[in-house]
Amino acid sequence: MTDPGHRNDLGVSYDDLDADNARLYRLLAVHPGAEFTAAPLAAALALPVAQVENGLARLADAHLVTAVAAARYRQHDLPREHAQVLAEQHDDANVRRAALRSMIEWYLRRTAAADIAINPRSRRFSPVYEQLDTEPFASVEHALNWFTLERPNVLASQYLAGQQGWDGLVFQLAEVVWNPLRPSYFADDLVQTQQLGIVSAQRCKHILEAVFLARLGFGESNRSHHDAAITACTTAIERATAFGDSWVQAAALSTRARAFTAAGQPRTALQDLGSALLLDEQRGDRRSIALRHRRIGQAYAHPEIADFPQATWHLREAAELMEALGDESGHARVITYLAEVHVAARQSDAALFTLRRIENALASCGSSRYRGHASTVMGRAHAQLGNVAEAEHCYSNALGLFADAGPGAATDREAVLKLREELGDPVTRKSQVDTSNVENENMEGNTK
């Protein structure tokens, strides 16, 4: 039950505010999330950010909001309910709706800027990218850190836009969250945003309907819902074909192949990847060609096929293309997969040599998931060589990166913990070292 005394205290604190700060307090009831900074509020009020920051400091002094970090505040449930009642009493419904839209549009623009910083090479479709009037992020890491903090507000913005029937905002938000969410462990969020985007894009008859269907398949595959992923991608291929867009068609084929590989059907995946690669080559799209070679290499490396020479050839093709395109992050990911193939083939020295080429790129890529993957592969290579201390260091680093990385990180953490346990098993370790030594000697003999 609400404490009447506390509610009276809120009323007294509110009555002591001047008109501008009272208006700011009421606006907080409309903000998409419980935590906020001054910038989206300033956009809604058409005021300078510095003025709103001063207003928030005044609200904090009055115990109407709580400072949670530098220039970041939170409004707890009771003050939010109080502000909502006051907003309904004093502010016209159309004014409140316009303020909400202004804040959602602010989150759309900032997330679009983060999206560009994380992956500047993606093909993009939404109008928000055409004249983006927001300050760019200085690095991938800054963009990912901003999105990590603001993710609840961005997701709430898309949901509220849907509630208001603002389809254009809904499907644009579905697009801008793709690169921020893709390297994370929040697969449920990725699925939910793409599902909302599909419905809105379909109503608007926009090509993004097909794009979101493929990305829904990506998210479902990350949740190990492989049948759902394959179904979504199959529909995406059909819709892309109807739209006559071969880029989207190839991307959907590649994503369905990813789901087939994860489901233990790499040979079926190779059929899709061959079709996608042909479409990419017809367009002369070098980056898409690199991405297809990467996925083909991963399919050949699957235990069902285990054709490591073929896997290595395709991954090297992908690496060369990514390097020629100047895509450091994409190159680093391909090299990590190539090192993983070397580990699977018991070519430990080759794996370590390969990974050392991308240490700087990995440090700057920002994604805990990608860096943790590389650390895990490096740890496995060291374990095969009997370098227990180095393997332990790599596994500890991976666990640190996976900590608090999101709900999907649990599987990767468990896999690393199991690998670390094997370091303490002398029988397992000796078997790894003996096999690795034989394979490395064979590799050296083949290269002389």
Q: Mind listing the pLDDT tens digit of every residue in the chain (448 residues)? A: 355 545 566 877 888 999 999 999 999 999 999 999 999 999 999 999 999 999 999 999 999 999 999 999 999 999 999 999 999 999 999 999 999 999 999 999 999 999 999 999 999 999 999 989 899 999 999 999 999 999 999 999 999 999 999 999 999 999 999 999 998 889 999 999 999 999 999 999 999 999 999 999 999 999 999 999 999 999 999 999 999 999 999 999 999 999 999 999 999 999 999 999 999 999 999 999 999 999 999 999 999 999 999 999 999 999 999 999 999 989 999 999 999 999 999 999 999 999 998 888 877 766 888 899 999 999 999 999 999 999 999 999 999 999 878 788 889 999 999 999 999 865 444 555 544 443 444 433 333 3
Q: What is the pLDDT of residue 388?
A: 96
Q: Looking at residue 64, which CATH number applies to its domain?
A: 1.10.10.10
Q: 206 lies in a domain?
A: no
CA–CA separation, 283 and 318 (whole Å): 17
The residue ranges of DSSP E strands in 245-362, in sequence order, are: none
What Rg do the C-alpha atoms of the chain give, in angstroms?
Answer: 25
Residues with Cβ within 8 Å of residue 409, at least 6 apart in sequence: 185, 369, 372, 402, 403
**∠ CA 309-312-316 to the nearest 5 degrees?**
145
Domain boundary among 91, 110, 132: 91
CA–CA separation, 46 and 289 (whole Å): 46
Q: 32 lies in a domain?
A: yes
Domain boundary among 91, 116, 134: 91
Q: 244 lies in a domain?
A: no
Q: 403 lies in a domain?
A: yes
Please, what's the b/e burial string for 276-304 (b: 16 or more CB within 10 A of its CB; e: otherwise)? Answer: bbebbeeeebebbbbbbbbbbbbbbbbee
Q: Tokens 């993710």 map to which residue?
A: 151
Look at residues 36, 39, 37 and name the one whose alpha carbon lies nearest to residue 49: 39
Q: 80 lies in a domain?
A: yes
Q: Tokens 């073929």 map to which residue?
A: 310
Q: Tokens 């935590």 map to which residue?
A: 35
Q: Strand order in 72-74's β-sheet? A: 35-36, 72-74, 66-69
Look at residues 316, 226, 223, 318 and name the one whose alpha carbon lies nearest to residue 265: 226
* Domain span holding position 63: 4-91
Q: Helix, strand, or coil here: 73? A: strand
CA–CA separation, 344 and 430 (whole Å): 17
Tally the domains of the chain: 2
Domain boundary among 54, 71, 91: 91
Whether residue 295 contacts residue 310, with contact meaning beta carbons closer than 8 Å, is answered with: no
Q: 275 lies in a domain?
A: no
CA–CA separation, 294 and 180 (whole Å): 21
Secondary structure letter of residue 72 according to DSSP:
E
Around 33, how many Cα atoms within 13 Å sit in the side-chain half-sphere?
20
Q: 192 lies in a domain?
A: no
CA–CA separation, 302 and 299 (whole Å): 5
Whether residue 194 contacts residue 211, with contact meaning beta carbons closer than 8 Å, is answered with: no
Q: 232 lies in a domain?
A: no
